[in-house]
Structure 1
Amino acid sequence: MRAKRSSAFFGSGVLELKDKLGPINWQFAPTKKFDPEDFERFLELLPAKVEGRAIRHAIEVRHESFCDPAFVALARKYRVAVVIAGDSKYPQIADVTAPFVYARIMGTTDKQANGYAKAALDRWTERARVWAAGGSPDDLQTFGQSAPPKAASRDVFLYVISGFKERNPAAGMALIERLKKD
Structure 2
Amino acid sequence: MATRTKSQIRVGIGGWTYAPWRGVFYPEDLTQKRELEYASRQLTTIEINGTFYGLQKPESYMKWHDETPDDFAFALKAPRYATNRRVLAEAGDSIERFFGSGLEHLKHKLGPINWQFATTKQFDAEDFEAFLALLPKKLDGLTLRHAVEVRHASFRDEAFVALARKYGVAIVLAGDSEYPQIASLTAPFVYARIMGTTGAHAQGYAKKALDAWAERARQLAAGAVPDDLEPLEARAAAKGARDVYLYVISGFKERNPAAAKAIIERL
The normalised TM-score by structure 2 is 0.65
Q: CA separation of 1:58/1:149 partners in 2, compared to 1, >3 Å: closer, same or farther?
A: farther
Q: Which moved more, 1:115-124 or 1:164-173?
A: 115-124
Corresponding residue of 1:15: 104
Residue identity opposite 2:153 in structure 1: E
Q: Is the 8 A contact 1:97 1:148 kept in 2?
A: no
The answer to whether 1:124 aligns with 2:213 is yes
The one-letter code of the counterpart of 1:56 is: R
> Deviation of residue 134 (structure 1)?
2.1
Q: Which has the larger radius of gyration?
A: 2
Give, as a single letter, the amino acid of the residue that structure 2 aligns with 1:104: R
Please tell me whether the aligned partners of residues 191 and 245 of structure 2 are also in contact (alpha carbons under 8 angstroms): yes
In the TM superposition, residue 131 of structure 1 has moved relative to its aligned partner by 1.0
Match of residue 97 from structure 1: 186
Report the Cα distance in structure 1 between the residues aligned to 2:162 and 2:238, rounded to whole angstroms: 16
Note if contact 2:197-2:204 (Cα within 8 Å) is conserved in structure 1: yes
Structure 1 match to 2:95? 6
Deviations 1:130-169 (A, max 9, x none): 111222212111113x456633311000000100000000
In structure 2, what is the equivalent of residue 159 of structure 1?
247
Q: Does 1:79 align with 2:168?
A: yes
Alpha-carbon distance between aligned partners in 2 of 1:134 and 1:39, rounded to the nearest angstrom: 26
Moved more, 1-10 or 88-97: 1-10
Given residue 106 of structure 1, which amino acid in structure 2 is its aligned partner?
A: M
Q: Identical aligned pairs, as a percentage?
A: 66
Structure 2 runs not aligned, ≥5 long: 1-89
- Mapped partners of 1:167, 1:175: distance in 2: 13
CA RMSD of aligned residues (A): 1.2
- Other-structure match for 1:26: 115
SS in 2 for 1:23: strand
Partner of 2:258: 170
- Structure 1's consecutive aligned runs of 4 or more residues displaced over 2 angstroms after TM superposition are 146-152
Question: Could you list the runs of 5+ residues in structure 1 that have no partner in the other structure?
Answer: none
Specify the alignment match of 1:150 in structure 2.
238
In structure 2, give the amino acid aligned to 1:37: E
- Give per-residue Cα distances to partners, 1:19-46, cap 9 Å, x unaligned: 1110000000000000100100001111
Partners of 1:118 and 1:23 lie apart in 2 by: 29
Could you say if the C-alpha distance between residues 80 and 147 of structure 1 is closer, same or farther in structure 2, counting changes exceeding 3 Å?
farther
- The letter of the residue matching 2:260 is G
Higher relative contact order (CA 8 A, sep 6+): 2
| Contact 2:203 2:258 (C-alpha < 8 Å) held by counterparts | yes
Instruction: Give the aligned partner of residue 47 of structure 1.
Output: 136
Q: What code does the residue aligned with 1:64 have?
A: A
Q: Secondary structure at the match of 1:22?
A: strand
